[in-house]
């Protein structure tokens, strides 16, 4: 009987817990802001298996938004600068938390200038929640 009371109390405590509500996975509208002093030509963004081509983005310019099924604080971004291919590192999305239904901007730049073909995401700016019609 003494063992039964703690078990019953534990069952009552667990049954009264509410399940945490998680935000939806997506979609997420993504734009790119070029923080570098170079034009990023033929810029593409790949998140998981989804790819969008943004075209050319001049210094300090912001692209149009494209919709991704899911988005994360990291993405695979490639562009040409003066005919040379620049890119971020390959992203392993396992374990990354999705952004959710948001409109965001990836601020990207060339951390090493033109000396190394590397693009980095400097920041992810959350613009506003994405409101979808039912």
pLDDT band at 128 (very low <50, low <70, confident <90, very high): very high
What pLDDT is stored for residue 131 in this prediction? 83
Statement: residue 66 has pLDDT above 80: yes
pTM of the model: 0.80
Residue 77: inside a domain:
yes
Residue 40: inside a domain:
yes
Residue 71: inside a domain:
yes
Angstrom distance (rounded) from CA 35 to CA 78: 15
b/e burial code for range 80-100 (CB count within 10 A of at least 16 → b): ebeeeebebeebeeeeeebbb
- The pLDDT tens digits for 18-41 are 544 455 688 999 999 999 999 999
What pLDDT is stored for residue 20 in this prediction? 45
Residue 7: inside a domain:
no
CATH number of 82's domain = 2.60.40
Total domains in the fold of the chain = 1
Sign of torsion, CA 123 129 132 134?
A: positive
Structural domain for 43, as ranges: 32-129
Closest CA to 16 of 8, 24, 25: 8
Residue 24: inside a domain:
no
Residues 6+ apart with CB under 8 A from 119: 40, 77, 78, 79, 86, 87, 88, 108, 109, 110
Residue 27 preceded by cis peptide, ω within 30: yes
């Amino acid at each position: 009987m003494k063992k039964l009371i703690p078990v019953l109390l534990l069952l009552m405590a667990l049954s009264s817990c509410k399940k945490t509500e998680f935000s939806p996975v997506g979609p997420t509208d993504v734009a790119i802001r070029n923080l570098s002093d170079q034009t990023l030509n033929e810029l593409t963004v790949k998140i998981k298996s989804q790819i969008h081509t943004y075209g050319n983005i001049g210094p300090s310019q912001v692209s149009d938004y494209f919709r991704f099924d899911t988005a994360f604080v990291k993405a695979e971004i490639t562009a040409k600068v003066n005919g040379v291919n620049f890119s971020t590192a390959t992203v392993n999305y396992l374990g990354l938390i999705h952004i959710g239904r948001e409109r965001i901007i990836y601020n990207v730049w060339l951390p090493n200038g033109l000396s190394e073909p590397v693009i980095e995401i400097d920041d992810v700016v959350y613009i506003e929640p994405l409101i979808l019609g039912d």
